[in-house]
Every structure is written in C-alpha cells, then in structure tokens.
Amino acid sequence: MKTSKPATPGRRFRGLDSRQRQQQRREQLIEAGLQAFGTKGYHNAGVREICGEAKLTERYFYESFANREALFLAVYAHAIETVRNAVVLALGRSDRDVRSLARTAIRVFLETLRDDPRLSRILLIDALTVSADVGRQSQLATQSFAELVGSLILSLYPQLPKRHVDAQLIANGLVGSTVYLVMHWAANGFDQPLERILEHCVLFYDAAGAQAERMTAG
C-alpha cells in the first residue's frame, strides 16, 4: 500500500479526524454494496458502480476492501447482524412461553426482510454463489441458527427416540420451510399479508412439534 495509515489520529477534516473519515467511507461503501448487491445481485454489480453509488472513487474502495468479495463479506455480515439484532431485540420484550417466543422471532424475521428486500437477496440467494469461501461462511451461519432450533426441539421433547429421529435434521427442515416460504413471498413482491405467511411458518413448527410428541409417546 502506498497510503499506509499513520497511527496518529491525523488532521481534522470536515470535523472528523482521519480514522473517523475512513470509518465513514467504509460505511458508505457497505451501504452502497447492500444496495448494489441487493438489487442487481453480486455478479452484476461492479466496483465502479458501487463506488458511484457510494459517491466515492475507486481509490477509497481499495482503501477499505481488498476486492469485491471482501466487500460482499462485510455486507453479508452487516445484513446478518441487522436481522439478528432485530430478532434478539424483539425476543427481549416477549413472553417466556416457547411457542410465542418462536412466533415473535419468525415475525420479526419476516418483517425485517420485507422492510428491506435487499437483505433477502444477499442472505438467501447471492451468498451461495459468490465464492466457495463465502458459501461456507453462509452455511455456517444458517447452520448455527438451525442448531439453535435443534436444541430447542430437544429441550421440549427430551424423550425423542434418537435412534430414528434426529432433532438436528428436523431443525434443518424447519429452517428450510421457513426460508423457502420467505423466498417465495419475496419473489412475488411481498404481495400476501405478513400474517398469512407467518401463520404458515409456525404451522410447520407446530406440526413438527406434534409429530415429535406422537413419536415420544408411541
């Protein structure tokens, strides 16, 4: 790098020192990446376009990111953080009973993606095809979520006959049904009311729960 940052705060400019300005530029780029990737898709958004969107020049792009993939990774992390924050925030002021906890979690999930459709493109579609590296990363993320669901199932139905049924696989299937319903919802422009989608999402969780109960009994 030619422009190696000094350790000092640097001269102030527009009320901000150099570190703050760089941070601000980085955030502009992430927002621009969210916009570009989230609307046109990763493979149809070039560095030039992203910089135009961010109102910054290419030089500042490479100041913060080694390449386009690195930016996507940051955008992806940002997107997943957005969703996660919304969910845990809502869970904080929700009931304690597990069923309504799950329901609010899913509702907030749906709300967040509907309110910013770019997120769904980033999280559910592009993340799989950007690169092998990003693909693994995204798999780990959804996997950790599925594991949460899995442990929830196990805590609710500890007697599950493990020889025949794997709570982890059930959790995966549940995540899949939810994700797929969201994808379909988004693909059709979020035309149906959120409540309707939500009801069908939880329907699967209820159905799986009932099935689990049936199997622990029999």
Partner DNA sequence: TACATTTGACAACACTTCATGTCAACATTG
Partner DNA sequence: CAATGTTGACATGAAGTGTTGTCAAATGTA
DSSP label at residue 158? T
- Of 67 and 159, which has the nearer Cβ to DNA? 67
- Of 50 and 186, which has the nearer Cβ to DNA? 50
Residues 47-86 touching DNA, rule: CB under 7 A, are 47-48, 55-62, 66-68
- C-beta of 177: minimal distance to a second copy in Å? 4
104 forms part of the interface with a second copy (CB under 8 A)? no
Among 81, 95, 115, 206, binds a second copy (CB under 8 A): 206
Q: What does each C-alpha distance from 68 to 73, 150, 198 come to in angstroms?
A: 9, 35, 35
Over its C-alpha atoms, the chain yields an Rg (Å, rounded) of 21
| Backbone φ, ψ for residue 13 (5° rounding) | -145, 120
Q: How far apart are CA 124 and CA 82, in angstroms?
A: 14
14 forms part of the interface with DNA (CB under 7 A)? yes
Retrieve residue 155's tokens: 């805590």
Retrieve residue 84's tokens: 């996660």
Among 47, 86, 125, 156, binds a second copy (CB under 8 A): 125
141 forms part of the interface with a second copy (CB under 8 A)? no
Identify residue 156 by its one-letter amino acid code. L
Among 24, 57, 129, 216, binds a second copy (CB under 8 A): 129
Residue 161: contacted member of a second copy, DNA, none (CB under 5 to 8 Å, by partner type): none
> Cα–chain-centroid distance for residue 34?
12
Strand partners, 16: 13
Q: Which of these ranges, 41-49, 126-134, 176-184, 185-193, lies near DNA under the rule CB under 7 A?
A: 41-49
Q: How far apart are CA 55 and CA 48, in angstroms?
A: 10
- C-beta of 14: minimal distance to a second copy in Å? 39
45 forms part of the interface with a second copy (CB under 8 A)? no
Q: How far apart are CA 127 and CA 69, in angstroms?
A: 10
Binding footprint of DNA on the chain (CB under 7 A)? 2, 10-15, 18, 21, 46-48, 55-62, 66-68
